[in-house]
Amino acid sequence: MTSTTPPATPSVAERLRAEYGAALTLGADCDLPDDLVVEIDQGAHLTLGDRVLIRRGSTIQVHRGATVAIGDDVAIGEHAFISAMAGIHIGNGAALSNMVDLHDHNHRPRTRANVPTGQLVPWASGFDAAPIIIEPGAILSNKVTVTGGVRIGANALIGANAVVSHSIAPDTIATGVPASARRTFDGAPAPREDRRSLIVGFFGTSIMEHLEAVNAQMTTQANLPEVGSKVTVEAWTPRGWVHRLSLSLRAAFPHATLEVRNHGEGGATSRDIASTVEGDRATSGTDYDLVFLGCGINDVWRRFQNRMSEAVDLAEYTQHMHTMLGQLSGYTRKIVVVSETPFGPIDDPGTVAEMNAELSRYNEAAAKAAAAHDALFLDMWAPFTAAARHLAPANTDDGAAGLWSDGVHLTELGDTVLLQQTEKLLAEHRIVEKLLDYPFLERDAALAAYGPMFTRFRPANN
């Protein structure tokens, strides 16, 4: 009589490798439950790093063309659900507690355009998608939901039952629906992978450009020139409210990379700036996250200087504003139209009053154009005139500084008023925070746009 040994039951890892082949990259020493559900569609790829721990009842769906990349030493609790149509990356050492839900996609609304036949099935309208990035060391507590487009920073701790619909900075505790930062802490060392980058553009006049002459010795505290000595101008350097805003944003969002492109031009009218906008797109092809657009003061000033060939009347100015906003809207996520600041004591009071009356009409036209193109409008007129009523002109005997250096260009104090109002607008609308999210795109467009983010997690032939 002979005895037979029953064949060994294949491990979960062996079963998954046999089923999905090259569509699956599975690291060493993973602890996977018997009831783990994995679905990998055509052209999709799932990567699990070394020592990944997944508890019972969890599901990983990788839809057509998408990528899910789970790093080394990641722990995933019971009944977690991970579903990707664009891409999801969970960094090394991150943890998802029980019943965490990561979905990088949403149903599109059932509009006539999305469902022209009126077909009554849930997927008829299609899907929008945007990646989810969870950086190393982040911890998501029980029943946390993360929506598409969100980046959760390294070491972040998300409280139980939170819904994370906007990105969370590293070293941050966030809770609530929607989740928001409660406090920050001194985070443990953790790699910041693929820093989020934003491109911010400025199109306007010298009030945006604001160049100053510099010599390195003038700013080197240990080697300042003697009082009364002479130095040579070595270069021009940006100053003013745009420069200070860029520093402020970099300080407020150190975990992101902000690339500032200042296209301000001294003496430019709306006619010149419209040409700059068009030329920038034609030569650089830059897609902007945030653009500030402001012009009009030179359009008016040239007429009062009797430089009529350069002056731009209100009708032409309005046309230029609509043209620029129409162009910028095609490749900019958020646009802020900045009103012109009023003229200061540049001429006799009667002439200045007439110039400001005319300039206010241009600002009104800019506000209407902004509304027509779904752009924000930053009204600087009211705060500027309110401050001017209480401040002496520049270079007065008592040393008090006014808002204007020459009636048009701004002093540091004038720049500060503009800076504060801009920061207030950005904070009230949470503009930068929202721009740090990845924008939703139609499913196939999302795969094309975000696919390069996940190339390194896929074999070269997959």
Decide which of 124 and 225 is more confident: 124
Where do the domains of the chain lie? Answer: 12-193+453-457, 197-435
Residues forming a β-bridge with 39: 61
- What CATH homologous superfamily does 12-193+453-457 map to? Hexapeptide repeat proteins (2.160.10.10)
What's the average model confidence in pLDDT over 301-323? 96
Residues forming a β-bridge with 214: 235
Residues 6+ apart with CB under 8 A from 159: 141, 144, 173, 174, 175, 176, 179, 182
Confidence of residue 2 (pLDDT cuts 50, 70, 90): low
Please report how the helices 381-390 and 412-428 are oriented relative to each other, as an axis angle in degrees rounded to 10. 140
Output the CA angle 173-169-143, nearest 5 degrees: 50
Domain 197-435 has CATH 3.40.50.1110: yes
Cβ-contact 236, 228 below 8 angstroms: no
Residues 6+ apart with CB under 8 A from 91: 71, 74, 133, 134, 135, 136, 137, 138, 154, 191, 193
Rounded to whole angstroms, how far apart are CA atoms 297 and 151? 41
Cβ-contact 103, 160 below 8 angstroms: no
The residue assigned the tokens 């000033």 is 301
* For residue 293, pLDDT beyond 60: yes
Q: Please state, in angstroms and as integers, the Cα–Cα distance from residue 427 to each residue in 232, 254, 379, following that order.
A: 41, 16, 15
Tell me the residue ranges of DSSP E strands in 252-372: 257-262, 288-293, 332-338
Please report how the helices 240-252 and 412-428 are oriented relative to each other, as an axis angle in degrees rounded to 10. 40
Output the CA angle 96-97-103, nearest 5 degrees: 55
What's the average model confidence in pLDDT over 367-383? 97
pLDDT tens figures, 157-176: 999 999 999 999 999 999 99
* For residue 1, pLDDT beyond 60: no
Helices (H), ranges, 187-313: 206-209, 216-219, 240-252, 270-284, 297-304
* For residue 386, pLDDT beyond 60: yes
* For residue 390, pLDDT beyond 90: no
pLDDT of residue 7: 65
Q: Pull the structure tokens for residue 389.
A: 């009523």
Q: How many CB atoms lie within 10 A of CB 110?
A: 15
Residues 6+ apart with CB under 8 A from 113: none
* For residue 452, pLDDT beyond 80: yes
* For residue 397, pLDDT beyond 60: no
pLDDT of residue 236: 78
pLDDT tens figures, 432-449: 999 999 999 999 999 999
Q: Pull the structure tokens for residue 260.
A: 């500032």
* For residue 112, pLDDT beyond 60: yes
pLDDT of residue 237: 81
* For residue 399, pLDDT beyond 50: no
Q: Please state, in angstroms and as integers, the Cα–Cα distance from residue 207 to each residue in 142, 244, 345, 386, following that order.
A: 51, 13, 17, 19
pLDDT of residue 210: 86
pLDDT of residue 212: 80
Cβ-contact 206, 264 below 8 angstroms: yes
Q: Pull the structure tokens for residue 13.
A: 């890892």
Confidence of residue 223 (pLDDT cuts 50, 70, 90): confident
Confidence of residue 400 (pLDDT cuts 50, 70, 90): very low
* For residue 111, pLDDT beyond 70: yes
pLDDT tens figures, 47-88: 999 999 999 999 999 999 999 999 999 999 999 999 999 999
**What does the mean pLDDT of the chain come to?**
93
User: Is the Cα dihedral 328, 280, 322, 410 positive or negative?
Assistant: positive
Cβ-contact 269, 321 below 8 angstroms: no
* For residue 198, pLDDT beyond 80: yes
